[in-house]
Amino acid sequence: MAIFSDAQQMHKMYPATFEAPSSDELSEVRVGSLVKICADDIERFWVKVTDVKGDRLQGTVDNNLLHSDAHQLKSDDVVSFELRHIYQVFHE
């Protein structure tokens, strides 16, 4: 099972290297949003949000992954994560 990196913590520790969305931006995440998370500090990838309950979210992996052998995730897998795990929110 993959462990998702805490983007907010990484941004606090290394602000020049790791960007993370503001609390205002995170509050706008809804069903249908595309967000980027990171599995096992190995690979960042897009997830399409399918459910939001407070700071807990669920979604489907929305791109092909290069390191599936390491974190056991692949395109279309369902993942559960928290707002703090989001590195980026896609804006059209």
pTM of the model: 0.93
Is the CB of residue 51 less than 8 Å from the CB of residue 45? no
DSSP state of 85: G
| pLDDT values of the chain reduced to their tens digit, one per residue, 92 residues | 789 999 999 999 999 998 999 999 999 999 999 999 999 999 999 999 999 999 999 999 999 999 888 889 999 999 999 999 999 999 77
For the structural domain made of 7-89, what CATH number should be given? Answer: 2.30.30
| Alpha carbon separation from 75 to 18, 21, 61, 68, 71 (Å, rounded) | 24, 24, 5, 9, 12
For the chain, which residues make up each domain, given as ranges?
7-89
